[in-house]
Structure 1
């Protein structure tokens, strides 16, 4: 009997050691923040906040009293696209990266309960910044993030400390290519026949294409998790209809271009342009026109594709760090 008790005690002890070892780092005690900043300031936390009955998810990192950087994702991604960038910014900046309604971990309300338009997405994100007490912030805009961010910036120019643009459009030259032909047809005639031409964009092959076309070495440099996660969210019941509705709503963005360009000219926000020059959706032709209105903008054309963070994230983080340090006051 004593022998069995000894074995039992040993088994329990070994089990406790194994359990402690297996506990994820995120569930163990957080490291203490040092005076120089540390892993604690870089750690990402995850939150939801109710905006008019819709739960909006966001990632957050960095010191609460540091200058704020708001990261606005593109289609068909989510704040997941910033998973590697956030820790690189978080030692010196307070980083917030939300998911729009219908994307990522935010609620996906039914289309008869929520208006899926760029006006409404911008309103939700604007209300989120107010709820979080973000009085002044820099924005990073990519793809859909540009029309969301530029609506907020032109409405509240006093809140914008700087802008980082990564394959996000505000000029007609940026949508004057083959990709946009069927989309523009849909703007003119929202028929099922025109919608059918766009539905393949919502399938896995096209999502993967966005992460591989124009990249130097996608097999080595781009995680397959990125396009698989985007597709998993898009495959949720009802989500593809939401995406089609936003394709249609994108047609409301070009009429705002003159307004956004006037905002650039009048307020001259500091701007860093980091652009995947091989992008077949938003080609480099949409990057250079910014310099007409913002002659002091800093432009870098990178030898990569649409989701440039996947392949050139370290370079973008370096350029952002230098740019923000020069233009955003602590």
Structure 2
């Protein structure tokens, strides 16, 4: 299977990255017909104020030919005067990657399956990308319409300089998720969310219970011990060191993703995660800001998550999937909380914090089973 990442528009032909070794045919499905085209050979990159790039990465997902369509969705209005973002140290105008768009933020999304099928929204954690669900999308696409997206500040979505239209607070992420779901035109949805963005999604869900068929939380922070970021993430919020380390592609992607469990990253996968940090400093600035926001707000959000899930007014059918080899979040107290809250609990003994990376196929089948029993149109 070929994983394509394209901005700013779906299926746009732009210059291939110089890392692309060969030119390969791309299979597309239009209705009942399947056609193919071949992307042109790499062309020299030209300076541009707009984000336009394509990455082609071979992904070893057992040779499936499931269609993955890349789209850019506009959601969540830009707030502010529209002033150009400037370097906080030297006061120089920053590059296009750090600037907010004129009106609405652009979100990079990957979708698969038929649009008429029940939607399943796949929400990545911190720090990660929609790419983490690459093993899940083909499995769900048989019966559902799975959509994975990059949060603002992550992957291939917009990454404005903090203070210029977006401040990377958790409250902003709650509001922006609502805007994205509305822009996607989704009336009823099953939500799957991983890790430290779980409290954000739970807060959104508490305000829109009528829109949810099911909520699946993958290794969410649920206890008081979980209210503090691990050192491999909190380092990005440290004074001076955080600003340096957040610009290091290896530390910001590889080390952060592999330090939390048994996941062994392949080089092809690593390049996808590194790419945002290699192409622009905006990814590092965003990572630093998000880390600061998490460090400041996570404790209150975890407490609020516990209250919401325990509340007798909570009606959303909720399942906790827990990778038991998580090195960031302790399992102590999780099972007890699920019993007290009457939440379904599923343990994955071979998975770490990033369940979708460690046990992707197993998780995909599990999501199919959970959502399949309760989905409503």
Change (3 A) 1:200 1:138: same
Of residues 94-103 and 270-279 in structure 1, the stretch that sits farther from structure 2 once superposed is 270-279
- Is the 2:232–2:259 Cα contact (8 Å) retained in structure 1? no
| Unmatched runs of 5 consecutive residues or more in structure 2 | 1-22, 35-62, 78-103
Structure 2 counterpart of 1:269, from 316, 321, 338: 316
1-side partners of 2:242 and 2:161: how far apart?
A: 23
What's the counterpart of residue 25 of structure 2? 24
Which secondary structure does the structure 2 equivalent of 1:123 belong to?
A: helix
What's the counterpart of residue 109 of structure 2? 58
1:80-128 CA deviation, whole Å, 9 max, x = no partner?
A: 1111211111111111211111211111122231221121122122101
2-side partners of 1:224 and 1:253: how far apart?
A: 32
What's the counterpart of residue 158 of structure 2? 107
Structure 1 counterpart of 2:274, from 231, 240, 265: 231
Change (3 A) 1:57 1:139: same
Structure 1 counterpart of 2:196, from 144, 147, 159: 144
> Which structure has more strand as a fraction of its residues?
2
TM-score normalised by L of structure 2: 0.68
Which secondary structure does the structure 1 equivalent of 2:195 belong to?
A: coil
Aligned residues: 294
Which entry has the higher C-alpha Rg, 1 or 2? 1
1:100-157 CA deviation, whole Å, 9 max, x = no partner?
A: 1121111112223122112112212210111121112111111233133112112212
> Which structure has more helix as a fraction of its residues?
1
What's the counterpart of residue 357 of structure 2? 310
- Is the 2:246–2:285 Cα contact (8 Å) retained in structure 1? no
Which secondary structure does the structure 1 equivalent of 2:359 belong to?
A: helix
Which secondary structure does the structure 2 equivalent of 1:231 belong to?
A: helix
What's the counterpart of residue 13 of structure 1? none
What's the counterpart of residue 207 of structure 1? 253
Q: State the shift of 1:180 in Å.
A: 5.1
| Unmatched runs of 5 consecutive residues or more in structure 1 | 1-21
Change (3 A) 1:74 1:112: same
- Is the 1:71–1:139 Cα contact (8 Å) retained in structure 2? yes
2-side partners of 1:137 and 1:106: how far apart?
A: 22
- Is the 1:164–1:272 Cα contact (8 Å) retained in structure 2? yes
What is the RMSD computed on CA atoms of the aligned residues?
3.2
Are 2:207 and 1:155 aligned?
yes
What's the counterpart of residue 281 of structure 1? 328
TM-score normalised by L of structure 1: 0.77
Structure 2 counterpart of 1:44, from 68, 77, 81: 68
Change (3 A) 1:29 1:72: closer
Change (3 A) 1:215 1:237: closer
